[in-house]
Structure 1
Amino acid sequence: MGEWQPSSERFPNGIEEVIDYIRSKGMVPGLWLEIEVMGIKCPLASQLPDDWFFTRHGKRVINSDRYHLDFTNPAVRKYADSVVDRLVKQYGVGYIKMDYNITTGIGTDHAADSYGDGLLNHNRAYLKWLDAVFQRYPELVIENCGSGGMRHDYAMLQRHSIQSMTDQTDYVRNGNIAAVGASVVTPEQCAIWSYPLKDGDDEEVIFNMVNAMLVRIHQSGLLNEVTGHRLDLVKEGIATYKHYRDQIPSLLPVWPTGLGQIDDSWFSYGLHGHGEMYLAVWRGVGGVATQSIDLTAYGKVATIKQVYPTNDELISYAVVGNKLAVNFPRERVARLYKVEFK
């Protein structure tokens, strides 16, 4: 961690073999980085002067077995440039998942009036470095993962097109988070994991897919071990998403049943605009089997159609006046609807 060279043990034929295979499938290969950190066991760390790193009282700041690089140092920025250049030019990477799994505390006192001054100077230098990267590679996508969403703000998101919202591993709670994510991050930037489980059922796959289908899909999970109809549901979800994803930046996030809490039994979230709405409805854990969602605030309902999944033998729904009435007879169920207004 810090040298960012491929492991010969993990990639005995070179990392290019994997990257070329991804590209051969018509996809854009990506790699994961923590460009602001260097592992304390990284051989390079012992060769570098202290002014490369955050320091306090003359000692390097250590957190999670990592040092924090100080981007006010031109040599640090030059080194970071060399890493990105190698990934893009040598490996042909078009996507970088930029992580940040460190908590440095109050900052650095190197060449600064205070710890906070040192931290602010680093932040500003890092943003300028990002600007320069995007000037060199305007087509490069850099996701602001930021410790699974713990470090994100709109100074970062002025640059990054995608923000990892959370590393939540409970897919039901991930739905609770997804349903309110657009209240703090624009839907087209808000990336939510969809990770069908190896040994789950159809409803678990559907729930996972709906979690991400009104924001930015982060498709994950052991898809090579998801088979049969469950894999078909993943494909269907992505195919459905492609029909409207280009509209997401122009649609307005709405919450017909209000902003939910982390363990609410029912929750909903929609994207509204131009006489239509895409509406996700979830039943998590607990609660009754029926729910009525009033859509009067958005117009007069003409039709409501379930768009994912298209084949459904479990749930029922109906239009009752200006309300969507749903019956989800079991827990951990989610559906996606398209509402058209008169």
Structure 2
Amino acid sequence: MAGIRFLEDHRAWVLTAASSTYALRLDEDDVPTHVYWGPRLPAEDIPDLIGKTLPWWDGFNDPDEGRDELAADGGTKYWTPALQLRFADGTRALEWRYQAHDTTQDHLKIHFADRHYPLRITLHYRHRGDVLERWTELAAETDVEVVRADSATWVLPLLEDYRLSHVTGRWAAETQLHRTSAPHGETTFASRRGITGHHANPWVMVDDATATERHGEVYGVALAWSGSWRLTTTRSSTGRLTVSGGFGQDGVTHRVGPGKPLVTPVAAGLYTAGGFGAAGRAWHAYVREHVLPHPRELRPVLYNSWEATGFDVSEQGQRTLAERAAALGVELFVLDDGWFRGRTSDHAGLGDWHVDRARFPDGLGPLVDVVHGLGMKFGIWVEPEMVNPDSDLYRAHPDWVLHHPHRRRSELRNQLVLNFARPDVREWAHDWLDRLVGDHGVDFLKWDMNRPFSEAGWPGEADPDRLWVEHTRAVHALMDRLREDHPGLRIEACSGGGGRIDLGVLARADQVWTSDNTDALDRLRIQHGYSQLYPAGAMSAWVTDNPNFVTGRSVPLRFRFHVAMAGVLGIGGDIVRWPGDDLALARELVALYKDIRPVVQHGALHRLRPPVDDGVTALQYVHEDRTVVFAYRQASHFNAPERPLRLEGLDPAHRYVDSDDGTTHSGAVLLARGLPLGLPTGDFASKVLRLRRKI
């Protein structure tokens, strides 16, 4: 049975989930100390793992280093600090004093104070399925400078070796999966950009270098934060490895004092014994069940107008696109950039969120009515956190942007970042967004953010560094407030593609824009890295035109559709110019997607063959009695014979019926030998197979 046990004689807490156990204790000095994280154990067995604190055997090596639950700076602690403080008199060391703890069925709070200074620390632990959420809360009666406040330190067991799995990338090349041996010393993954970032993502997985997609123990840590962040792995010469993670960055401090508590974001940890595939499925289940705001809804097939029109937007042009999209079976029509005053290029207009009457003479109402009349929902692109210097807003409020006195205001994409930590900016943003959604019947916002922070100053503010945290919290809060004001509103998070994908934004966005790169071959790799942690039901994927605007590559329409159908299907091409054969194929594939959508968006993902080369890659989704398989041959070499594809997640005692040709297959054979794919010959060959368990 899952739950929380306090072993009073050992001053230890045991948190048990369905398939894992986590335990910690207080040492002789009240320091919260890690005991165990791994396969499920009875609470009664945990005392066998508790040893006494060992004395130093010389003046340089601490035999207990790396075991703290929240590694605090000070004294003879030299491990990577998760908590660094500076009190008003200059004292930096922390000395723990346990006060009390309280628990509910799934939430443990352990309360501490500093032994001398009026500082209170609460460590939070909460199980959500097999994922353990941890965060830290600081409060003080006098001002305290917090140099670093990570959410948690995660202590891994002693393994034969340590290997790190993580993703790297850049614009149009996000979430590229890497696996590498963990170096000794500190390895930091981070974003200093004020957003989650394209170049890394706030999660890391650790195994002993023997785990595969199907076998082996995997430990994972992910941070629920959409601003600057860092995760640090520390591997000592004695073999221990920890992961410490939280918001913030070097040189940016927090202040805690009367009425100014600090609560860190959730750091989520997961142990699985079934390899990276089981880890991915467990993370997906956690996101669907405990993170996403509307996890049981099916995400609609959308059309986005950007690649068809760019900034050349007109009411008639959008009407024509909407009519063509509806004929394809699209359920959500999204008007992208260029609908507001002064927005004929990316040089001007951001901040002046008023409908351009030269393009929409009677406002957006007539277009919205047309879209709704065609049976589709209406969505619109916004970029609330940005302003062009060439805008009425900036001319009226130049102090609203991030800036430092006597320093240039660096522009990227001809725009500056508004300081959402300011109450007046927050209220301005809510006011116009609330009116935009409410007055026009907007069903969907594509929320974009097209540049990182720079000159992140706040002249006249006593604690300017707080903007790094408060901006992100304000964005989250604004999304939450809009959703509360407009319960039918749905949101897609975007930041120049995949620059804002994390557990924090997914708690208030229904889906994320994975990358501006829609090239089908590149997307196979981007989507593979994305799927390590995040589910397909939140992954927006579009079919766009040939040649692709990022890569210049041309790929058959069927292949493009099949790649996008492995997530939340969207269409972004200039469909007015598509030939009749392409439109007919698109209608057929949209209908197919609607049939398989519950399996893709809600099912368990099995990555059967990863896109590690240019051969065949394959995915399988299993939901209730249905299975959907996507197979893609990228390039054909030497007339190589096709291998059967071994499936996973099926019941060997049942037979499975192919929904297209009616043939039946033994579940045991599909698991043991595999399924003949029958891919078409040549390059860019793809296929979708639908199987249903025979009752």
TM-score (norm 1): 0.84
Shift of 1:305: 3.1
The structure where helix makes up a greater share of residues is 1
Aligned to 1:46: 395
Matched ranges for 1:1-342 at <5 A:
1-50=350-399, 52-57=400-405, 59=407, 60=409, 62-105=411-454, 107-110=456-459, 111=461, 113=463, 115=465, 117-197=466-546, 204-257=556-609, 259-261=610-612, 264-287=614-637, 288=640, 290-295=642-647, 298-300=650-652, 302-303=655-656, 305=658, 322-326=673-677, 327-340=679-692
Equivalent AA in structure 1 for residue 373 of structure 2: S
Equivalent AA in structure 2 for residue 339 of structure 1: L
Shift of 1:247: 4.3
C-alpha change, 1:255 and 1:85, in structure 2 (3 Å) is: same
C-alpha change, 1:210 and 1:306, in structure 2 (3 Å) is: farther
Shift of 1:88: 1.5
CA contact under 8 A between 2:404 and 2:455: conserved in structure 1? no
CA contact under 8 A between 1:196 and 1:208: conserved in structure 2? no
C-alpha change, 1:9 and 1:281, in structure 2 (3 Å) is: same
C-alpha change, 1:118 and 1:85, in structure 2 (3 Å) is: closer
Alpha-carbon separation, structure 2, partners of 1:285 and 1:108: 51
Shift of 1:99: 0.7
Structure 1: gaps of 5 or more residues? 311-318
Alpha-carbon separation, structure 2, partners of 1:289 and 1:233: 28
CA contact under 8 A between 1:142 and 1:161: conserved in structure 2? yes
Equivalent AA in structure 2 for residue 186 of structure 1: P
Shift of 1:187: 1.3
Q: Count matched residues.
A: 327
Shift of 1:113: 4.5
CA contact under 8 A between 2:659 and 2:692: conserved in structure 1? no
Alpha-carbon separation, structure 1, partners of 2:372 and 2:405: 48
Partner SS for 1:17: helix
C-alpha change, 1:282 and 1:139, in structure 2 (3 Å) is: same
Aligned to 2:21: none
CA contact under 8 A between 2:540 and 2:568: conserved in structure 1? yes
CA offsets, 1:245-281, max 9 Å, x none?
2344541111112x324x6332111212334321111
Equivalent AA in structure 1 for residue 385 of structure 2: E
Equivalent AA in structure 2 for residue 55 of structure 1: H
C-alpha change, 1:289 and 1:99, in structure 2 (3 Å) is: farther
- Tell me which moved more, 62-71 or 170-179: 170-179
Alpha-carbon separation, structure 2, partners of 1:56 and 1:154: 31
Partner SS for 2:537: coil
Alpha-carbon separation, structure 2, partners of 1:270 and 1:112: 54
CA contact under 8 A between 1:149 and 1:165: conserved in structure 2? yes
C-alpha change, 1:179 and 1:152, in structure 2 (3 Å) is: closer
CA contact under 8 A between 1:198 and 1:226: conserved in structure 2? no
Aligned to 1:313: none
Partner SS for 1:235: helix
Equivalent AA in structure 1 for residue 658 of structure 2: K
CA contact under 8 A between 1:94 and 1:140: conserved in structure 2? yes
CA contact under 8 A between 2:403 and 2:455: conserved in structure 1? no
CA contact under 8 A between 1:198 and 1:222: conserved in structure 2? no
Shift of 1:165: 0.8
CA contact under 8 A between 2:599 and 2:623: conserved in structure 1? no
Alpha-carbon separation, structure 2, partners of 1:20 and 1:83: 21
Alpha-carbon separation, structure 1, partners of 2:598 and 2:634: 29
Alpha-carbon separation, structure 2, partners of 1:93 and 1:176: 33
Partner SS for 1:65: coil
C-alpha change, 1:207 and 1:306, in structure 2 (3 Å) is: farther
C-alpha change, 1:125 and 1:229, in structure 2 (3 Å) is: same
RMSD: 2.9
TM-score (norm 2): 0.43
- Tell me which moved more, 55-64 or 137-146: 55-64
C-alpha change, 1:174 and 1:24, in structure 2 (3 Å) is: same
CA contact under 8 A between 1:180 and 1:269: conserved in structure 2? no
Shift of 1:76: 0.8
The structure where strand makes up a greater share of residues is 2
Alpha-carbon separation, structure 1, partners of 2:452 and 2:641: 43
CA offsets, 1:102-153, max 9 Å, x none?
12158445536465x4211211122112211111011101110221112221
- Tell me which moved more, 230-239 or 279-288: 279-288
CA contact under 8 A between 2:542 and 2:572: conserved in structure 1? yes
Equivalent AA in structure 2 for residue 132 of structure 1: R
Identity over aligned pairs, percent: 22
Equivalent AA in structure 1 for residue 576 of structure 2: N
Alpha-carbon separation, structure 1, partners of 2:644 and 2:657: 13
Alpha-carbon separation, structure 2, partners of 1:74 and 1:61: 24
Partner SS for 1:87: helix
CA contact under 8 A between 1:196 and 1:204: conserved in structure 2? no
Shift of 1:322: 3.3
Alpha-carbon separation, structure 1, partners of 2:454 and 2:615: 37
C-alpha change, 1:297 and 1:243, in structure 2 (3 Å) is: closer
Shift of 1:61: 5.1
Partner SS for 1:167: coil
